[in-house]
Amino acid sequence: MPLLAAIGVQDALLAANNDLNRMQTLLADASVTLMRPFQGVTERIQALRGPSITGAERDSMICTVTHDLTHAVTALQFQDGASQPISHTQRRLRNCADQLARDSFADAEDGEAVVEAAPDRSSPVTPAEMDTGLIELF
């Protein structure tokens, strides 16, 4: 591979790697941000159970908050679902960049480039959306 082409590809791969790093940080931040309302909702549920609100209205509000909370818990798992493929892609891209470096600059004075191992199989994450998964009890 011509030297300039190799440099271009390597830069592109490293840029993609940096983008994925940034995405992982953003996802982690989003997860933390989304977590805060949970405490507030829990406190509201406690207040709703107090004497100031009574009857069917109170029951309906509790039901709504609980329902929302249940969905939020499922939705919040996006961070875990997204971070695994990102991590996988990072390792694959890193391997690609390392191999390019080794093949293109094999005679560099500072020795052969170290190639970080690529994942040995495709990403383990199979769900494509935040619907709940299957259950099998043995």
Partner 1 sequence: MHSILAVDDSASMRQMVAFTLRNAGYEVTGAVNGQDAYEKAHARGFDLVLTDQNMPRMDGLNLTKQLREHLNFKATPIRILTTESGDQMRQAGRAAGATGWLVKPFDPAWLIEVIRKVIC
Binding site for partner 1 (CB under 8 A): 28, 31, 35, 38, 42, 69-70, 73-81, 83-84, 124-127, 130-138
Task: Identify the CA nearest to 13 among candidates 79, 81, 104, 83.
Answer: 104
Residue carrying structure tokens 């969905």? 71
Going from the C-alpha of 137 to that of each of 132, 134, the distances in angstroms are 16, 10
For residue 137, what are its two tokens?
């009890």
- Whichever of 109 and 131 has its CB closer to partner 1, that residue is 131
Question: What is the smallest separation between the CB atom of 131 and partner 1, expressed in angstroms?
Answer: 7
Residues in the chain, total:
138
| In the complex, least distance from residue 117 CB atom to partner 1, rounded to whole angstroms | 14
**Least distance between partner 1 and beta carbon 136 (Å):** 5
Our CB check for partner 1 shows the closer of 42 and 64 to be: 42
Calpha distance 55→95 (Å, rounded): 62
Nearer residue to partner 1 within complex by CB, 2 or 36: 36
